[in-house]
Amino acid sequence: MRFGSLAAMFSSEQRTLSGIVSLDRPLICTIALLHEAAIRVSRARMGEGDILANPRSMLDYLKSRLTREPIEQFRILFLDERNRLLADEAQTRGTVNHTPVYPREVARRAMEIGARSIVLVHNHPSGDPTPSDADIVMTRDTQKAAALIDVRIADHIIIGNGSYSSFRELGLMKDR
């Protein structure tokens, strides 16, 4: 099999899929639709309650969203005072090994949405979810900016090839 897995095929770019002789435009659209449906199902499994109380479903959703992305994408999960999901937004997209993150913009958006806490999320297209020094510095800078408006960074999760790193689990989150 060319892609190795269904997940890899789902997240392939349309031009890659269109290069396969047996795949016509309607089938390529069907594949994209199935991928989006799988993401929406995993998001629905997070439920309406405290998403931090059910980290497995949150991680399943984030993996389905980001595991096979070919470039880095920085997302934010905005949460209310009971850790219910208010919004999930892609903030920036970068290159294969970097995406710019601006703590001031993260704090501004959290304030606009009315979030009380946020989960920072990005992927490492290399497949290795180990936090880089730059990831750690950016997280601390974002914590400082968010603290000024009384928004808590609940975690920073990095998604790799089907695996993840959690700053909270690694002891890298400094609570205010």
Q: Could you report the per-residue pLDDT of 31-88, keeping only the tens digit for each? A: 666 656 555 555 556 667 788 888 888 998 899 888 878 899 999 999 999 999 999 9
Q: Work out the mean pLDDT of the chain and round it to a whole number.
A: 84
What whole-number distance in Å separates Cα of residue 101 and Cα of residue 88? 16
Domain-by-domain residue ranges, the chain? 69-170
Average pLDDT over residues 144-156: 97
The pLDDT value recorded for residue 158 is 97
163 to each of 28, 33, 126, how far by Cα in Å? 27, 24, 12
Burial status of residue 92 (CB atoms within 10 A of its CB: 0-12, 13-18, 19 or more): middle
What DSSP string runs through 1-58?
--SSSHHHHHTS-HHHHHTSTT--HHHHHHHHHHHHHHHHHHHHHT-SS-GGG-HHHH
Query: Which CATH superfamily includes the segment(s) 69-170?
Result: Cytidine Deaminase, domain 2 (3.40.140.10)
Average pLDDT over residues 106-117: 98
More confident residue, 67 or 96: 96
Q: What is the pTM of this model?
A: 0.79
State yes or no: pLDDT of 1 exceeds 50: no
The pLDDT value recorded for residue 68 is 75
